[in-house]
Chain A
Amino acid sequence: MESEVVRTEMVLAPTLPFKKMQTADKYPKGQSRGRQWKHLRHLLQSADASSMPPDRPNYMNIQSPPSIYPPKRYCDLTGFEAPYVDPRTKLRYADPEVFKQIRMLPDEYVQRSFFLPLVY
Chain B
Amino acid sequence: MSSVTRPRREADFARFPSSTPIVIDNGASTFRIGWAGEAEPRLSFRNVVQRPRHRSTGETVSIVGDTDPSLMKFFDCTRSAVRSPFDDDVVYQFEYMEYILDYGFDRLGANSEVGHPILMTECECNPSFSRVRMSELLFETYGVPSIAFGIDNAFSYKYNQKLGNCNEDGLAISCEHGTCHVVPFLKGQPVLGACCRTNVGGFHITDFLRQLLSLKYPYHMASITWDKAEELKKEHCYIGLDYMAELQIFKNNKEEADEKMRYWQLPWVPPPKDEPPSEEELARKAALKEKASQRLRDMAAAKRSQKIVELEKQLSYLEEVMEQLDEAEEQEATAILGRSGYLSQQEIKSAILKATQSLRKAKGESNGNDEKTDASAADKYPLVSVPDETLTPEQLKEKKKQILLKTTTEGKLRAKQKRAEEEALREKQEEKRRAENPELYLEELRSRYSELSEKFEQRKRHKVNGGQTNGNHSSSGGVGRGERLNAAQKERMRLLASAAFDRGKGEDTFGMRDEDWLVYNKMSKDNDDDSNDDDESELVRIASKLQEIDPTFVSKSEAVQLTPEPPKIRHSPQRITGLPLESSGSAALKSSSSQA
Contact = CB atoms under 8 A, between A and B. Distances in A.
Partners in one complex: yes
A37 B71 contact: no
Interface string B569-581: 0000110001000
- Residue among A23, A62, A64 with the highest chain B CB neighbour number at 10 A: A62
A83 B24 CA distance: 49
A16 B106 contact: yes
B477 to A, nearest CB: 10
Nearest to B91: A40
B441 interface: no
A19 B215 CA distance: 48
A85 interface: no
Given A33-B95, A59-B126, A80-B247, A12 B64 contact: yes
Given A5-B71, A12-B103, A38-B92, A79 B87 contact: no
Main secondary structure of the interface of A (DSSP, over half): loop
Given A17-B111, A80-B573, A109 B92 contact: no
A89 B88 contact: no
Given A11-B63, A37-B95, A39-B87, A18 B125 contact: no
B208 A88 contact: no
Contact of A107 (B71, B87, B98, B469): B469
Nearest to B200: A120
Contacts of B56: 2
Contacts of B204: 118
A39 B105 CA distance: 27
Contacts of B573: 78-80
Interface in A1-47: 1-2, 4-5, 8-13, 16-21, 23, 26-27, 33, 36-40, 43-44, 47
B228 interface: no
A20 B140 contact: yes
A20 B192 contact: no
A12 B126 CA distance: 29
Interface in A78-104: 78-81, 88-89
Interface string B167-193: 000000000000000000000000011
A80 B125 contact: no
B208 to A, nearest CB: 6
Given A88-B469, A89-B469, A19 B92 contact: no
A59 B63 CA distance: 31
Contacts of A20: 140-143
B62 interface: yes
B197 A62 contact: yes
A40 B88 contact: yes
Contact of A89 (B6, B63, B215, B472): B472
A57 interface: yes
Contacts of A38: 92
B251 A80 contact: yes
B125 A61 contact: yes
Contacts of B94: 37
A36 B90 CA distance: 17
A113 B125 CA distance: 35
B93 interface: yes
Contacts of B6: 8-10
Contacts of B215: 109, 112-113, 116
Contacts of B192: 57, 62
A57 B195 contact: yes
A8 B69 CA distance: 13
Contact of A13 (B93, B106, B200): B106
Interface string B101-121: 011011000111110000000
B124 A115 contact: no
Contacts of B113: 17-18
Contacts of B578: 74, 118
Nearest to B112: A17
Contacts of A4: 71
B228 to A, nearest CB: 18
Interface in B549-580: 573-574, 578
A5 B140 CA distance: 31
Contacts of B92: 37-40, 43
Contacts of A33: 95
A32 to B, nearest CB: 12
A33 B83 CA distance: 13
A64 B71 contact: no
Contact of A23 (B67, B102, B211, B212): B102
A107 B200 contact: no
B472 A18 contact: no
Contact of A115 (B141, B199, B211): B211
Contact of B102 (A19, A36, A78, A80): A19
A10 B9 CA distance: 11
Given A17-B112, A79-B247, A1 B57 contact: yes
Contacts of B471: 107
Interface of A: 1-2, 4-5, 8-13, 16-21, 23, 26-27, 33, 36-40, 43-44, 47, 55-59, 61-64, 74, 78-81, 88-89, 106-107, 109-110, 112-113, 115-116, 118, 120
10 contacts: A1-B54, A9-B6, A10-B67, A10-B68, A16-B105, A17-B110, A18-B142, A23-B99, A55-B193, A120-B198
Interface of B: 6, 9, 54, 56-57, 61-64, 67-68, 71, 74, 87-88, 90, 92-95, 98-99, 102-103, 105-106, 110-114, 124-129, 140-143, 192-193, 195-200, 204, 208, 211-212, 215, 218, 244, 247, 250-251, 468-469, 471-472, 573-574, 578
Given A18-B114, A88-B469, 20 more contacts: A1-B57, A12-B61, A12-B102, A12-B103, A12-B106, A18-B113, A20-B143, A36-B95, A57-B193, A58-B127, A79-B212, A79-B247, A79-B574, A80-B250, A89-B469, A107-B472, A109-B218, A110-B472, A116-B208, A118-B578
